[in-house]
Amino acid sequence: MPDTNFSFTSPLEILKHVFGYESFRGRQEEIIHQLLCGKDALVLMPTGGGKSLCFQIPALLREGVGVVVSPLIALMQDQVEALKQNGVRAEFLNSSQTYQENQRIEQQVRQGELDLIYVAPERLLTDRFLNLLSQTRLSLFAIDEAHCVSQWGHDFRPEYLQLTVLHERFPEIPRVALTATADELTRREIRLKLGLEQAGIFISSFDRPNIHYRVVPKANAKQQLLDFLKTEHPNDSGIVYCMSRKKVEQTAEWLTDHGYTALPYHAGMETKDRQRHQYRFLREENIIVVATVAFGMGIDKPNVRFVAHLDLPKSMEGYYQETGRAGRDGEPSDAWMVYSLSDVIMIRQMLAKSEASEQHKRVEQQKLESLLGYCETVHCRRHVILRYFGEDAADSCGNCDTCQNTVETWDASIAAQKALSCVFRTGQRFGVEYLIDVLLGKDSDRIRQKRHHEISTFGIGKELSEKEWRSVFRQLLAMDMLNVDLEGYGGLRLSSKCKPVLKGEQGLTMRKEQLVAKKASTKVARKNPLNISHFRSQIAWERWESLRELRMDLARAQNVPPYLIFHDSTLREMAEIGPQTIDALSRITGVGETKLQRYGQKFLEVLQQHSE
């Protein structure tokens, strides 16, 4: 039995012939080199950055089997299937298999018939498996999702702490730990807990240049979502995040009524329904999942074209993780969010009511401030995100709403003073609606009853419309000039921050809202990356449609997700270039030798049917 199916001797050859890619991305080549030299590595790369190749290629080049520790069954299955599609000898061992299957695979490991074996940490740590490894020639250990070792992180897995056993028992075998979670604390824990103090550290930029960021003022969220889908993603897969289960259900229903395939996903559903929805999302095209944050971990689908937020996430970390599920394949994708005054009030209230410790609340408070700052920024959104994660970034990215449409600002110092003193004069217990009525000098029974038509701020705000005042209050709340009271009625109180503004010592600049929300959304409407307008010609579009059909048929026949046959990016290149020979087809990105053999002829036939 040869050590691999392939006889390539350099990383670049493997990249080209096995995976069908032209060149390495970012630091991939350096990392591969490090492992080929037998040294350890810690790899920090954003989602979709291309972490897998960093250990897959050295595992193919070094003698022996590469052992990959991965925390999620779904992820393992996907990666193994993707490798098999490329002709790589890979298997996984986990609880979803029968005893016989397990035995067969163990046998293959022992006999050196595999290039890569994926296992869950619990399995790896059993005596049985460790003994198996001692009888086997090993090429490397890859510890995927290495942030699971961190107790402060979001996905702590106690078994990860015991992975130091690998180092102790197999000191000669190089190890690589990989994660997309960047913060300094987690990074330090990974090094310490996995005994990687000597490892080379490879940090990539966390920028996701193919994701377009946009935050839209919320008017009628569902209708806005529908408009967004209609104009930009009529036939795409995507995720819509909502805060509550109820809203998840309602939104999914609404989208279904409007002709979309929208499936709900939240923790209150039966496990089997949840699994079925997740399965369909992975296997079919044009599926929208409407979900609470419970959805996403282990979603490796590369062609998620949009992530929409109908409610505010709790922190920048959460937001970046959720939006990061879009566009793993590097194709243009959207992160779209609607955001309103009532969101800010609600989330501030939740924080205030929380029973967490003071310290914990302070941290949450700060995280919220950063997120609100992001929503209200008049600068490049990408810049704000990357700065938040400690990275230097260009002032303007050209691929976010604020870069594409300069946000107009205005001097809101006087308006802010009026709003704040209205809060003060009415006794710091009323909500926004009431305060605006007072500022506009409305003749209402409630105002008369409270005798607020007699105070100095009554009717002093007639120069702005109701809508403009809402925007002022929203921004004051976002700036933490106002607090929400704890009673739950949304009454506003002054915070200590607003003194200099009230005294006229500090000026305030605010965003000018585009007056009609609808107009704003069409103004920034871009071409949907993969609809007809995106293709150079009518014929390219026709090819794309037919290629997609063929891909779906092939995927169904093998019961695998379509993206494992070819990625969207590969299909799009085929459609644009329209290769007419096998040789020309082999030069398309993502077409390796195995896939060429397996599918080349079929795709070529479709391409020939649509020749120019």
**Where along the sequence are the contacts to ligand ADP (CB under 6 A)?**
21, 24-25, 28, 45, 47-53, 302, 328-329, 567
Which residue number, 49 or 153, has a Cβ lying nearer to ligand ADP? Answer: 49
* Distance in angstroms (rounded) separating the CA atoms of residues 255 and 449: 44
- Minimum CB separation from ligand ADP for residue 21, in Å? 4
CB of 377 to Zn ion, least distance (A): 10
CA distance 101 to 97: 6
Minimum Å gap between C-beta 386 and Zn ion is 10
Of residues 51 and 348, the one with the C-beta less far from ligand ADP: 51
Q: φ and ψ at 414, to 5 degrees?
A: -70, -45
SS3 400: strand
Dist CA 512 CA 411 (whole Å):
10
- A 10 A CB-CB count for 475 gives 25
φ and ψ at 552, to 5 degrees?
-65, -45
Neighbour-count burial of 169, counting CB atoms closer than 10 A to its CB (0-12 exposed, 13-18 middle, 19+ buried)? exposed
C-alpha to C-alpha distances, 98 to 67, 93, 94, 111, 116, nearest whole angstrom? 20, 10, 9, 20, 20
Q: With CB under 5 A as the contact rule, which of the stretches 341-349, 376-384, 476-484, 504-512 interacts with Zn ion?
A: 376-384
Nearest C-alpha neighbor of 520 from the set 232, 216, 222, 225: 216
Report the residue number, 385 or 560, with the smaller CB distance to Zn ion.
Answer: 385
Cβ pair 305, 334 in contact under 8 A: yes
- Taking residue 562's Cβ as centre, other Cβ atoms within 10 Å add up to 23
Q: With respect to ligand ADP, which residue has the nearer C-beta, 67 or 215?
A: 67
CB-wise, 89 or 208, nearer to ligand ADP? 208
Question: Cβ of residue 47: shortest distance to ligand ADP, in angstroms?
Answer: 4
| Gap between the Cα atoms of 328 and 85, Å rounded | 19
Site membership for Zn ion, residue 397 (CB under 5 A):
yes
Q: Is 400 in the site for Zn ion (CB under 5 A)?
A: yes
Rank residues 51 and 511 by Cβ distance to ligand ADP and give the closer one. 51
Does position 382 bind Zn ion by CB under 5 A?
A: yes
Among 32, 380, 386, 554, binds Zn ion (CB under 5 A): 380
Collapsing DSSP to helix, strand or coil, 61 comes out as helix
Kindly tell me which of 238 and 461 has the beta carbon lying closer to ligand ADP. 238
**Amino acid occupying residue 518:** K
Segment near Zn ion (CB under 5 A), from 236-244, 353-361, 403-411, 553-561? Answer: 403-411
As a whole number of Å, the end-to-end CA separation of the chain is 46
Given Zn ion, ligand ADP, none, residue 567, with its beta carbon under 5 to 8 Å by kind, binds ligand ADP
Q: Which partner in ligand ADP, Zn ion, none is near 380 (CB below 5 to 8 A by kind)?
A: Zn ion
| 551 contact, one of ligand ADP, Zn ion, none, CB 5-8 Å limit per kind | none
Which residue lies nearest ligand ADP, judged by its C-beta?
A: 50
Smaller CB distance to ligand ADP: residue 53 or 166? Answer: 53
Please report how close the Cβ of residue 522 comes to Zn ion at its closest, in angstroms: 20
DSSP 8-state class, residue 587 = T
Q: How far is the CB of 383 from Zn ion (least distance, A)?
A: 6
Contact residues toward Zn ion (CB under 5 A) are: 380, 382, 397, 400, 403
